[in-house]
């Protein structure tokens, strides 16, 4: 039983289901990666776990507590952080204000967390008084991840954190993500760059048409000839 698990979820927009009894989960301090072809329902699965999409069947459990009926905002208070794929920063606010807004629900002094985020992403400290909309794609992603970390979540969910960034920046981001996981946070993420993502993953889920096709450790999936041939380009 994983720390956070979306169990046998069925959900969709409008009448038909996109997810069919799909299960994804992650342990504390581990990285779980969801991969699959376009339209496999990866982002939908993330939204379902975060409560942005009502489940028709199945449940979401965190630390053995059923959180299926919590609204996304309530899940944030419950210790979940979510970085959406698009529009994931406040473009007209400065970097520092973005991070402060991330800590909005905290009434205590969050300067320690702010320092931690600046240590993790030093470039953000340099650009703290610049508007987030003026930053490069990679730096924006760092702001987005930093914002989600400000609540000190137990689970961090990332929807394609490396979308639209250069390969060098991508490696850098993956390094940071490993660092975050080492601090004990569970990381559940969707990735287009399946090979690299699986290579850092403790657990991998291959989704096809809204259902689990393969579920294994990251390295086992990378070694699996069927997975390689069908999803990783040989």
Partner 1 sequence: MTDFLNVLALLSNFAIVPGLAYGSQLALGALGVTLVYGVLRFSNFAHGETMSFGAMATILVTWALQARGISLGPLPTALLALPVGIAITIGLCLVTDRLVYRYYRQEKTQPVTYLIVSVGLMFLLGGLIRFIIGPNDQVFNDGTRFILKAGTFKAMTGLDQGLAIKTSQSITVVTAVIIVCVLFWFLNKTRAGKSMRAYSDNEDLALLSGINPERVVMVTWIITGALACIAGTLYGLDKSYKPFTFLQLLLPIFASAIVGGIGNPFGAIAGGFVIAFSELFVTFAYKKVLAYLLPSGFAPDGLVQLLSTDYKFAVSFMILVIVLLIKPTGLFSGRTL
- Find the DSSP H helices in the chain: 42-50, 72-77, 95-102, 111-120, 122-126, 137-149, 167-182, 194-200, 218-223, 225-231
CB 30 within 8 A of CB 4: no
CA distance 77 to 215: 30
Sole binder of partner 1 in the list 90, 121, 205, 231 (CB under 8 A): 90
Closer to partner 1 by Cβ: residue 40 or 148: 148
Closer to partner 1 by Cβ: residue 64 or 109: 109
Work out whether 89 is an interface residue with partner 1 (CB under 8 A).
yes
Question: Exposed/middle/buried for 189, CB within 10 Å: 0-12, 13-18, 19+?
Answer: buried
CB of 42 to partner 1, least distance (A): 19
Size of the site for partner 1 (CB under 8 A): 21
Closer to partner 1 by Cβ: residue 32 or 143: 143
In Å, how far are 47, 123, 177 from 157, measured between CA atoms?
A: 10, 22, 11
Angle 44-169-178 from CA coordinates, rounded to 5°: 65
Q: What string marks each residue from 48 to 87 as x (binds partner 1 by CB under 8 A) or -?
A: ------------------------xx--xx----x-x--x
Q: What b/e string do you get for 193-202 counting C-beta neighbours within 10 Å, with b at 16 or more?
A: bbebbbebbb
Closer to partner 1 by Cβ: residue 44 or 212: 44
Q: What string marks each residue from 130 to 149 as x (binds partner 1 by CB under 8 A) or -?
A: -----------------x--
Sole binder of partner 1 in the list 39, 91, 178, 219 (CB under 8 A): 91
Work out whether 178 is an interface residue with partner 1 (CB under 8 A).
no
Residues that bind partner 1 (CB under 8 A): 72-73, 76-77, 82, 84, 87-93, 97, 100-102, 104-105, 147, 151
């Amino acid at each position: 039983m994983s720390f956070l698990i979306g169990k046998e979820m069925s959900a969709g927009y409008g009448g038909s289901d996109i997810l069919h009894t799909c299960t994804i989960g992650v342990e504390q301090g581990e990285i779980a990666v969801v991969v699959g072809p376009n339209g496999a329902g990866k982002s939908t699965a993330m939204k379902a776990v975060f409560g942005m999409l009502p489940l028709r069947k199945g449940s979401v459990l965190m630390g053995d507590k059923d959180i299926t009926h919590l609204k996304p905002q309530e899940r944030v208070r419950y210790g979940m952080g979510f970085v959406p794929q698009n529009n994931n920063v406040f473009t007209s606010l400065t970097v520092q204000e973005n991070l402060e807004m991330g800590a909005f629900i905290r009434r205590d002094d969050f300067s320690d967390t702010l320092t931690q985020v600046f240590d993790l992403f030093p470039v953000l400290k340099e650009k703290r008084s610049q508007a987030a909309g003026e930053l490069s794609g990679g730096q924006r992603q760092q702001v987005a991840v930093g914002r989600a970390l400000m609540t000190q979540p137990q689970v961090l969910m990332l929807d394609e954190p490396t979308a639209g960034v250069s390969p060098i920046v991508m490696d850098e981001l993956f390094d940071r993500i490993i660092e975050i996981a080492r601090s004990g946070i569970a990381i559940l993420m969707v990735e287009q760059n399946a090979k690299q993502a699986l290579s850092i993953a403790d657990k991998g889920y291959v989704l096809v048409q809204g259902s689990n096709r393969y579920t294994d450790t990251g390295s086992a999936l990378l070694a699996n000839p069927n997975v390689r041939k069908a999803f990783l380009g040989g």
